[in-house]
Chains A and B, each alone.
Chain A
Amino acid sequence: MALPLALALAIGLAGLTFLIRATGSLLPEIPLAITRRTAGLAPALLAALVAIQLTGPNGIVRFDVKVPAVLIAAVLAALRMPFIVCVAAGGLTAALLRAFFHFS
């Protein structure tokens, strides 16, 4: 990725995150009923990100090595394995399937 774009990503995300964190601390009178709703953002977005990662360039789910990688990671996460173990197992699953079975 070109340097200006990488810097735009780092600084853009940092600036907006700063404002978000400052908002809560400076305006504590925002109604709880509104802010409580942000609790649903993380699960909805992370689940959507998993789904998007499994789609091909046409936006439709593609059954490549990422699918078994995600399933392995989900099983390990359900077994309360540390984050790094889930990530490494997912990557390893994909790498092994590619190396030995020539999956895409």
Chain B
Amino acid sequence: MPATRSARAILLSAAPIAFAVFVFGASFGVLALAVHLPGWTTALMSALVFAGSAQFAAVGVLAAGGGVVAAILAGVLLNLRFIATGIAVAPVLPGSRWRRALLAQLVIDESYALGTAAGVPGRPDRRTLLVTGVELYIAWIAGTTLGVLLGPVLGDPKRLGLDAAFPAGFVALLWPMLARPNAVRCAVAGIVIALVLAPFTPAGVPLAGAAVAGVWLSRSR
């Protein structure tokens, strides 16, 4: 492994992932129209949150009839894993506490994975982490904006099957995770608890129940 790669080399090597993030952003921008979010607030959400699956989950909760609080809860619970990734990158973040807290906002699943792959065990590569973080941030916002602009051209959300696109998207996000340790039992428990609670409780409760099951069942055996 070369000691330091140029920013250009890092950008180029992450380009296919940036493209995937761009397309993911575009689909998020289109789908957000199904719940009639004003387009610029969708783009604003992407710029401020920068967490695809959490944003997707929040909008999906709204599409299923949940309220804003349940939507935020869903996104926050999904994002709690960033505490663990934040700790993993903390040793290589430079500067004051404020600067480190700001730079940590560039950590998403993809930039974390690329930074870890380019580093040594226990020390992700700082340049790769930050350069790809910025690259993917730009791709995410650009993709969302394209989706928001493209959505109205595509036509009536219901006729396009956009309501079915939400569960399809959640399945697509879930499937690659099932290879991880304990993930299958966490997923099965999440389904069972959500379906048991859904008839009796408001929208956020089944998700909170699933989250508790996920935390409980992901303990190492």
Q: Residue A40 contacts which of B45, B72, B79, B218 (CB distance < 8 angstroms)? A: B218
Interface string of B31-61 (1 = CB under 8 A from A): 1000111100100110011110111011011
Q: Which residues A22-63 have CB closer than 8 A to chain B? A: 22-28, 30, 32, 35-55, 57-61
* Across-interface contacts of A5 in B (CB, < 8 A): 68
Task: Please give the number of chain A residues whose Cβ is less than 8 angstroms from any Cβ of chain B in the complex.
Answer: 78
Closest to B210 in A: A48
B210 contact from A6, A22, A44, A98, Cβ within 8 A: A44
Residues of B within 8 A of A (CB): 20, 23-24, 26-27, 31, 35-38, 41, 44-45, 48-51, 53-55, 57-58, 60-65, 68, 71-72, 74-91, 93, 97, 100-101, 103-105, 107, 159-178, 180, 182-184, 186-191, 193-195, 198-201, 203, 206-207, 209-211, 213-220
Known contacts A44-B217, A53-B63, then 17 further A-B pairs from the complex at CB < 8 Å, ordered by chain A residue: A18-B105, A20-B79, A22-B104, A23-B86, A26-B100, A26-B101, A28-B91, A37-B219, A40-B213, A53-B64, A54-B167, A60-B198, A61-B195, A70-B167, A90-B169, A93-B164, A95-B161
